[in-house]
Amino acid sequence: MTYEMPPYRPPSEAGSVLIRATRNCPWNKCAFCPMYKGEKFGRREVDDILADIDKAHAFYGDKARRAFIGDADSTLLKTEDLVTILEHLCRAFPHLERVTSYARAATIARKPLEHFSALADAGLTRLHVGLESGDDEILLLMRKGATSEMMVEAGLKVKQAGISLCQYVLIGAGGEEMWLQHAQHTAAVLNRTDPDFIRVRTLVVAPGTPLDEMCERGEFQPASAMTLLREERELIATLDGIHSHFVSDHVSNLLPLMGELPDDKAGMLDIIDRTIEGIDSGGVTPRRVVVRL
């Protein structure tokens, strides 16, 4: 039995029931992102989504504990439609402990708090939101379609609605020249939103993206491995007064650190410092390794 699944989901949703409520991305202009390029955004019919949930039930069985609703921004749907979808999902899978979705900060900022409170009541437990950077110059460069204040407003609204907040940071988004302001201003936003999860990704220049064209024209210089490490160190060092899970669960990352803030902050900084010292001394070659505290 088959049904329409979202083509992308966070790594943390690898074992989740996958339900497609929208198709592709409503913004689809981010300079760094190759996902959904050339595809038109669309909202699926509610009846089709409900039918897919029933098919998913037959496929996964009713013991599933996690579900993910795609694609890039399901919160664009009308409140009553998404509530209907969530309630049907929770009835089909009565043992669900987590229901998550992607959402754009611009959408969250525009929608009223009541929209998200209703989604929380219907069973939505977490939203994955791409912060990427807290620096307005870099957000504009990356064509993110949101400002740092919008990122803060969106994050706080999600939490106020009782939904777990996961914000993504794009290490390297400032390139070789703006890494320091990127780290410091991103940490400043995170200090205000205090997300439940901070998930880091490292910028990879994908062929055919606007960022790739910017690199070809000499308008953007990707950060070196050493700069990426210094940037991540500055980011973690500048985080203050928050209680977040710091998660690096993507193959793009040079040094994927996992820790709880504030308890593991010193340990993560020590790992980065020792890695930098090893590179400086010639004893370490930058490579991707998983480090868990």
Given a cut of 60, whether residue 287 has pLDDT beyond it is: no
- Average pLDDT on 89-103 reads 97
- How far is residue 16's CA from residue 14's CA, in Å, rounded to a whole number? 6
Whole-number pLDDT of residue 38: 87
User: What single-letter amino acid sits at 98?
Assistant: R
Helix (H) or strand (E) holding 268: helix 265-281
Residue 129: half-sphere exposure toward Cβ, Cα within 13 Å: 34
Pairwise CA distance, residues 72 & 86, whole Å: 17
Beta strands 291-292; 257-260: pairing state: parallel
What is the pLDDT at residue 288? 43
> What number of CA atoms fall less than 13 Å from residue 211's CA on the CB side?
24
Q: What is the pLDDT of residue 291?
A: 35
Decide if pLDDT at 282 tops 80.
Answer: no
pLDDT score for 70: 95
Percent of the chain scored above 70 by pLDDT?
96
CATH of domain 11-281: 3.20.20.70
Question: Can you tell me the distance from the alpha carbon of 151 to that of 106, in angstroms, rounded to the nearest whole number?
Answer: 8
In the numeric block, which tokens belong to residue 39? 């595809």
Nearest residue to 143 (alpha-carbon basis) of 24, 27, 26, 31: 31
Q: Which residues of 176-188 are buried (b: 16+ CB within 10 A; e: fewer)?
A: eebbebbbbbbbb
pLDDT of 247 above 70: yes
The residue extents of the domains of the chain are 11-281
pLDDT number for residue 256: 75
Band (292; pLDDT cuts 50, 70, 90): very low
Q: Which range, of 66-80, 127-141, 278-292, averages the lowest pLDDT?
A: 278-292
* DSSP code for 242: -
What is the pLDDT at residue 143? 97
**Whether the predicted pLDDT of 178 surpasses 90:** yes
How far, in Å, CA of 30 to CA of 49, rounded? Answer: 27
d(CA 55, CA 270): 49
User: Residue 115 above 90 pLDDT?
Assistant: yes
183 near 235, Cβ under 8 Å? yes
H or E stretch covering 80: helix 79-92
Rounded mean pLDDT, 241-270: 92
Question: Which pLDDT tens digit goes with each residue over 179-214?
Answer: 999 999 999 999 999 999 999 999 999 999 999 999
Mean of per-residue pLDDT scores for the chain: 93
Percent of the chain with pLDDT over 90: 86
How far, in Å, CA of 247 to CA of 256, rounded?
8
- The residues, any chain, with a CB within 8 Å of residue 142's CB and separated by 6 or more, are 30, 31, 32, 132, 133, 170, 173, 211
Could you tell me the pLDDT band of residue 284, with boundaries at 50, 70 and 90?
low
φ, ψ for residue 286, nearest 5 deg = -55, 125
pLDDT of 63 above 90 = no
This model's pTM is above 0.75: yes
pLDDT at 285 over 50: yes
